[in-house]
Amino acid sequence: MWNISFGFFGVQIAYSLQNANISRIFATLGADPHDLSFFWILPPLMGLLVQPLVGSFSDRTWCRLGRRIPYLFLGSIIAILVMCMLPNAGNFGLTVGGAMIFGLISLMLLDTSINVAMQPFKMLVGDMVNEEQKGQAYSIQSFLCNAGSLVGYVFPFIFAWLGIANTAPEGQVPDTVKYAFYIGSAILILCVLFTTFKVKEMPPKEYAEFHGIDLEKKKDEKRPGMFTLLAKAPKTFWTVGLVQFFCWAAFLYMWTYTNGAIADTVWGTTDVASDGYQEAGNWVGILFAVQAIGSVLWALVIPKFRNIRTAYVVSLVIGAVGFASVFFIHDQYLLFISFLLIGVAWAAMLAIPFTLLTNSLSGDHIGTYLGLFNGTICLPQIVAAACGGFVLKLVGGAQVSMFLVAAAFLVLGSLSVYFVKEK
């Protein structure tokens, strides 16, 4: 199970670098705070479009490398190239608008490639792990996810501590961020190569036997399209999806507004060119790393609950407390408590939904269903991002106020768990 998921560690480093630094990068390039959320529409939008296709195509793929691994390998290669481009958006002598467009295209390509690489890891668990062990397997992925996040988040802070420049000319991204993306891309390819060469996927006949699929009967059946499968999706798909909607909207606002919120409330600045703003950007990475630590620790606690729905509710409520506390805490070190609590919700979001869903599915169309289920992750982020500027004005324009909105979303998510029924 560890070999199946190890490459996820590298993919998550790339994902964490994106989440922790996108708002910082675009703010540095000249984006207005009220427009920041619009830049966050692209990542989930690409995930919404790409991941169902990856699931559907990989369900019908078989080659020497397997059915899922070719996609994660290709996605990782593209991600590596784009990770070297994105932080240099302000270094090509472009106008502010030109740098924004270049950054947006790079961001679109980066998130597309990360989605292509990320989804197969969840599919590999559904393909190769029995029902009794799936919870453990997804917990391993949760651990590696948070370990990768921890590494990616602290990179800019470490590089600044080593003496690498943490400020740059106006409109350019500091070297600390650039180096973080460069090193992250190197780790990504090493981790993905490990999984590529260590994991041997089941050939079609063995896969069919493992999942109880009648290949002869399947030959005579017309393969259903994604919309047909969506219409036949188990109830768990929709009820867990409702919980997902509130959870991922909450975290989208955290990723979007933490840099500006912390710079304002702790460093007392909203000037993106100031030393304080860039120091806050590095500290955001540390806070996100603390969140990852909290998530790793809580991932060990989740299996101790007798009822997985209870674990879900408790985790989301604790996370809501963490979000709300950010509004009231203005000390950079006390914020560790807030983000440890936020990490509790994150651990549940990574492990529990996929356990509930895959236990309700047969193995025949699992890749497609997991790809479609990604819509419950992407769609709420798209909606939240599209409404972000309006909501920010509604709460008075202070970016820290968005943490209260995020807390309310997690409470609604915890209440929605009531509708989820285990298999």
Q: Round to whole Å and give the CA distance between 154 and 134.
A: 30
Give backbone dihedrals phi and psi of 63, rounded to 5 degrees, phi first: -145, -170
Residue 358: C-alpha distances to residues 59, 151, 340, 344, 373 (Å): 15, 29, 28, 22, 10
Two tokens, residue 188: 């990504």
List of the chain residues with pLDDT < 70: 1, 131, 135, 211-227, 361-367, 371, 422-423
pLDDT attached to residue 161: 92
| DSSP 8-state secondary structure symbol assigned to residue 129 | S
The pLDDT value recorded for residue 317 is 97
- Tokens for 103? 């950054």
Of 330, 316, 307, 340, whose CA–CA distance to 422 is shortest? 307
The torsion defined by the Cα of 73, 346, 348 and 47, in degrees rounded to 10, comes to: -40
Domain ranges of the chain: 2-419
**What CATH class does 2-419 carry?**
mainly alpha
pLDDT score at 411: 97
Token pair recorded at residue 149:
């996040």
Choose among 260, 254, 245: nearest CA to 381. 245
pLDDT of residue 180: 92
pLDDT computed for residue 369 by the predictor: 73
- Chain-wide mean pLDDT for the chain? 84
Determine how many CB atoms are found less than 10 A away from the CB of residue 119: 28
In Å, the largest CA–CA distance within the chain is 68
CA angle 104, 27, 276 (to 5 degrees): 150
CA–CA separation, 250 and 275 (whole Å)? 29
Which pLDDT does position 343 carry in this prediction? 94
